[in-house]
Amino acid sequence: MSGLDLRKRWFAAVYGRLDQRLKVATAPMRRELLSDLTGDILDVGCGPGTNFEHYRADAHVTAVDYSEHMLPLARRTLLALPQPHAVIEVRQADATDLPFRDASFDAYVSTLVLCSVDDLDAAVEEAWRVLRPGGALRLLEHIRSATPWKARLQSWLNPAWGLVADGCHLDRLTHRAFIERGFEVVEERHPDLPGEPMPVVALRARKPA
Ligand SMILES: C[S@@+](CC[C@H](N)C(=O)[O-])C[C@H]1O[C@@H](n2cnc3c(N)ncnc32)[C@H](O)[C@@H]1O
């Protein structure tokens, strides 16, 4: 077993348990961010399927995760969803190299994922490619603090944190990378994540039509 596989296996075991607390704490912001999306939706880094209950019943969701250890948890969540619920297909894929045609989705969703991708620019480029013109981008991500000493602390903690949390970067400005690529901001909010010291961004944006 490679080091990367071990890291993914460990993270699936830990996050699968932590997820219950996080799920309750973040439910209102997920609902607010996701429940109006329609059409073909790509949920990248779906993990144990934390977002599934928040999609409209008439949506079609492709939920991907690069970790084969997360996929069974997502499938279990899908089986337990109360009816009616969205049509959801769970499959393995990497956010930095998506196996989908250009302009094949109406919406791209990432919640607490892009802090840990190795190549953020590649993930942003893939989001741009697979979204149709005018398509919706919805992000819920923890980000670097605007307070200098907290940002320095985040950078200092980064190496150790990355080892236990699947390569997570505490000090990324993930949403900025999307805005710099050309996504148009519809709404940027910074809600408190209950019980979490990390600043969070909830971004609604769109690819220009
Ligand atoms: C912290 S969990 C978040 C899960 C879920 N989105 C949520 O909001 O609870 C991060 C997930 O992203 C996945 N992930 C990390 N890097 C990825 C990548 N490059 N491509 C696809 N999934 C990735 C991990 O396997 C993990 O399931």
User: Which atom of ligand 1 has the smallest separation from the CA of 22?
Assistant: 9
Q: Which of 127, 106, 109 is closest to 58 using CA atoms?
A: 106
Q: What pLDDT does 166 receive?
A: 76
SS (H, E, C) 13-43: HHHHHHHHHHHHHHHHHHHHHHCCCCCEEEE
Whether the model clears a pTM of 0.75, i.e. scores above it, the answer is yes
Q: What pLDDT does 19 receive?
A: 63
CATH code at 3-206 = 3.40.50.150
- Give the side-chain half-sphere CA count within 13 A for 76: 8
User: Which atom of ligand 1 has the smallest separation from the CA of 123?
Assistant: 19
pLDDT in tens, the chain (209 residues): 666 677 777 777 767 666 677 788 899 999 999 999 999 999 999 999 999 999 999 999 999 999 999 999 999 999 999 999 999 999 999 999 999 999 999 999 999 999 989 999 999 999 999 999 999 999 999 999 888 898 898 888 888 887 877 778 888 999 999 999 999 999 999 988 776 778 999 999 999 99
Q: Which residues does residue 108 pair with via DSSP β-bridges, in sequence order?
A: 42, 137
Q: What pLDDT does 1 receive?
A: 60
Q: What pLDDT does 171 receive?
A: 86
Integer-rounded Cα radius of gyration of the chain: 16
Q: Are 15 and 48 in contact (CB under 8 A)?
A: yes
Q: What pLDDT does 180 receive?
A: 98
Q: What pLDDT does 16 receive?
A: 65
Cα 82 to ligand 1 centroid, rounded to whole Å: 24
- Give the start-to-end residue ranges of the domains of the chain: 3-206
Q: Report the residue among 113, 138, 143, 170 best suited for mutation to probe ligand 1: largest number of ligand atoms under 8 A from its CB.
A: 113
Q: What pLDDT does 3 receive?
A: 65
Q: Which residues line ligand 1 (CB under 6 A)?
A: 15, 44-47, 50, 65-67, 70, 94-96, 111-113, 116-117, 166
Q: Which helix (H) or strand (E) holds 76?
A: helix 71-80
Minimal-distance CA residue to ligand 1 atom 23: 45
